[in-house]
Chains A and B, each alone.
Chain A
Amino acid sequence: MTRVFGQRVRNWRDRIKFWPRDASLRSWATRVADRQVFVSLGFLMLFLIVAVRVVEIGLTNPGSLQIHRDVPEQEFSRADIVDRNGEELAMTVSGYALYAHPHEMNGDEARRRVAIQLAALIDDIDPDRLAAALTSGRKFIWIKQRLTPEQKQDVHDLGEPGLHFGRRPVRVYPKGKLAAHILGGTTYGDAAVNSAVIVGNAGVEHHMDARLTAPGQSHQPLELSIDSRVQNVVAKYLARGKEEYQAQRASAVLMDVQTGEIHALVSLPDFDPNARADHQSSELFCDPVQGVFEFGSTFKIFAAVQAIELGHVTPDSMISNQSFRLGRYQIRSTERGDKMLTLRDVIAQSSNTGVAQLALNIGSAKQRNFLSQLGLLEKSSIEFTEAQNVGPLTPSRWAELETATISYGHGVAVTQVQLAAAYATLVNGGFRVTPTILKRTDMGPATDRVISEETSRVAVELLRAVVTDGTARYANIPEVAIGGKTGTADKQRPEGGYYRDKVLATFASVFPTDNPRYALVVTLDEGTSGDGSKWERSAGRTAVPVATVIIEKVAPLLGLDPNEQRIAARN
C-alpha cells in the first residue's frame, strides 16, 4: 500500500483513472504510468539542482563574480614620480599609436593620398617614404608610436579605411626640462598592436624600473629627494651665470648635509625628457654624476681637516708659504708671497705649499684612507643608471709627489656629487654621508663617524674664513652665513697635461655656517668674468657669485630663519 498525494493506492498503476479492462491496452497503460513516474522523478532532480544552484549563488559574495575587463590593468601601471613635496614629475597617460593595414585601402592612389594627408597632420612623417611603405604590398605598417589627442582626432576625421589606432601608455614629464637629467627617460619595450610596456632607459626611470613597475605599487608614487621649487631656482640662476660668464657647461648640486638627500641637481645644457631622442649626447650628459673632474683647491680643506683631526695643527698654527721643490716638481706659494701663514689663511688664501706640507706630514697611506672614508675613492652609489659605472680616477702610483698634488686637488678626479657629500661629511658633525636622490624616510641616527665633532666645527670655521677673509669674499652677504672653498683647476688636455687658459671653476659651499644644513657645489666649465685673464677666470670671480645668487634665492625656500641668519652672518 502506497500513498500518492494522500490518496491510498495499491500501486503506481492505480493512478491511471480509466484502467483498461483489455489486457493489451492494460500493458500499454502500465508503460504510460511507469513513464510518468520516471519523468516526474527527472523533473524533481532538475529542480533540486536548480534550487541548490540558486541557493549557492545567493550565498556567494557578489564580488567573486568574475566579469571580464577589456583593458588589462597592468598595461598602464607605471608609478608616477613625484618630488619631495608630492609635486608630479613623471606621469603616465593613455595615448594612441597609429598603424595601417594597406590592403584595406582602396588602391595605390588612395594609399598615396593617405600618406600625403598624414604627413600634413603629423610633423615627422616623410610622405614619400610612407607612400612607398604603404604601396609595398605589406599587410601591416607602424606609422607613429605616439599620437597627441589632437592628432588622433585629426587622423580619425580623415575617415580613411585601413588606418587603425593601438592603445599606448605614454610617459609624460609635465615640468619639462626641470630635473630632466634625474628623471632620465623611457622607451617602449615589447610593443604589440594594442599594448606596449614602458621601460626606463636613463636616469631614475631606468635605475628604479623594477620599483616603478612592481605590481601593487603603481598607485604609490616614487618620491625623489628633489624639491622642484628649489630645483627650478637653481636651474634658472645657474643658467644665467653660465650665460653671463660664457661657460661651456655648468652644474650645481644642493645637498642636505645630514641625510645626503639631493634637493637640486642641475647640469647645463639640459634637455626635455618628453623628447629625449631629439637631443644630443652633450645635453643628455649629466655632469654632477657622470663627469669626473679634478676639482683643484676645493680639496685643500681635506688635508687641513685631517691634519687637525690628527692633532698636527690648529687653525692658528703657522705654516710656511714658501715655494719648495719635490723631485723635479716645483710647488709654488700664493701670489701675495707671505713667508708664513696661519692654517686659517692657508685655506682662505688657498696656498698650495701650505697644504702640500700638511699632506706630506700626514703621509700617503693616511691621506688615501681619509679620502676613502669621505667616499671620494669609491664608485658612487647614487640611484642613477649613468652613475653606476662612474668611478673616481686615482693615480696608479700614490707616492710623495701625488700626495702633495692631491692635497690641492690634482691627481684625483671625482664627481661633483661626491665632492658635495664629502663637504657634507666635514660639516655635519663628522658623519659619513651617502648621497641619494630618493626621499629618505627611515633615517636612523648617523653612526659612521669620520671626524670628531670638534674637528667638524673647526672645518666649518675654516670654510667661513674663506668667505670672510679669503678667495670667496663675494659670498660674504649679511643675510646668510656662507662658508666654502673655491677651486680653479686647470683643465686636463685629453692627450695629457693641462691647458694654460682653460679652467674648471668650482665653489663648494655650506650654509648656514652657525648650524650647517646644506651643501651647494657650483661648477662653471671655462667661465670667465671679463677679459679672460687668469684673475677673471678664477672661481672667486665666476662660481662664487653664481652660488651666492642661488643661495640668496633658495634660502627662503629651504626655510632658513631670516633673523637667526642675520645674527649669524654678523658674527
Chain B
Amino acid sequence: MRVKHLLLVFLPVVGLAYWVTHESNKTRQSIKQVKSLETQLRDDSQRLEFLSVEWEYLNRPDRLEALVERYFDQLRLVEAHVTRYGEVESIPFYDGEEVIYDQESGLLMAVPLSPTDTK
C-alpha cells in the first residue's frame, strides 16, 4: 500500500521532471540553432549585398558600352538613334528551321530540319 502511494506520488514527479528537462534542452537547442541560422543569414545577406553590388557594377552603362564595342563583330549592336527605327516587317523571322524547346536551358532553339543543312 505504502509503496503504491509512493509510486503514485513520485512517478508523475519524475515524469514531469524528465519532461521539463527535456523541453528546456530542446528550447536551448532551438535557441542555439536560431543563433547559428541568424549568423548564417547575416553572412548570406552580406554575400548577397556584395553580389548585387557586383552585379550592378558589372552592368554599369559604360562597361556595357565597352563590351558592345569589343564584341561588335559577334553582336552587331549599335546605339539607339532616331534614324534607326525598324519596321516589324523587316525582322527576319525563322525560315526552314524547326523550333524546339530545350529543357536544359529553358530556351526556344531553332535547329535545321536536316543535319545536312548545317554550314
B5 within 8 A of A: yes
Q: Which of A500-514 touch B at CB < 8 Å?
A: none
> How far, in whole Å, are A176 and B59 apart by their CA atoms in the complex?
11
Residues of A within 8 A of B57 (CB): 172, 174-175
> How far, in whole Å, are A552 and B53 apart by their CA atoms in the complex?
32
Quote the shortest CB–CB distance from B65 to chain A (angstroms). Answer: 8
**Which of A65, A71, A557 sits near B42, CB closer than 8 Å?**
A71
Interface SS of chain A: mixed
Closest residue of chain B to A552 (Cβ to Cβ) is B82
> How far, in whole Å, are A177 and B57 apart by their CA atoms in the complex?
12
Number of chain B residues whose Cβ lies closer than 8 Å to a Cβ of chain A: 32
Q: Which of A454-484 touch B at CB < 8 Å?
A: 477, 479-480
A553 within 8 A of B: yes
Stretch of A86-94, A132-140, A330-338, A403-411 contacting B (4+ beta carbons < 8 Å): A86-94
Interface pair B61/A556, CB less than 8 Å apart? no
Residues of A within 8 A of B13 (CB): 43, 47
> How far, in whole Å, are A70 and B1 apart by their CA atoms in the complex?
57
User: If the complex has contacts A5-B5, A91-B49, A93-B49, are A553 and B38 also in contact, measured as CB distance less than 8 A?
Assistant: no
> How far, in whole Å, are A91 and B53 apart by their CA atoms in the complex?
7
For chain A, the bracket of interface size reads 35 or more
B34 within 8 A of A: yes
> How far, in whole Å, are A88 and B54 apart by their CA atoms in the complex?
11
Quote the shortest CB–CB distance from A155 to chain B (angstroms). Answer: 18
**Which of B20, B52, B61 sits near A175, CB closer than 8 Å?**
B61
Q: Which of B38-59 touch A at CB < 8 Å?
A: 38-39, 42, 46, 49-50, 52-53, 56-57
> How far, in whole Å, are A8 and B52 apart by their CA atoms in the complex?
80
Beyond the given A91-B53, A178-B61, could you list 9 further A-B residue pairs with CB under 8 A, ordered by the A residue number?
A5-B8, A67-B38, A91-B49, A92-B49, A175-B60, A233-B79, A480-B82, A552-B81, A555-B82
Q: List 18 A-B contacts (CB under 8 A).
A: A50-B20, A54-B23, A65-B31, A88-B56, A91-B49, A91-B53, A149-B50, A174-B57, A175-B60, A176-B60, A176-B62, A178-B62, A228-B61, A236-B65, A479-B83, A480-B82, A556-B84, A562-B82
Q: Which residues of A contact B (CB under 8 A)?
A: 5, 7, 17, 43, 47, 50-51, 54, 65, 67, 69-71, 87-88, 91-94, 149, 172, 174-178, 228-229, 232-233, 236, 477, 479-480, 551-553, 555-557, 562, 565
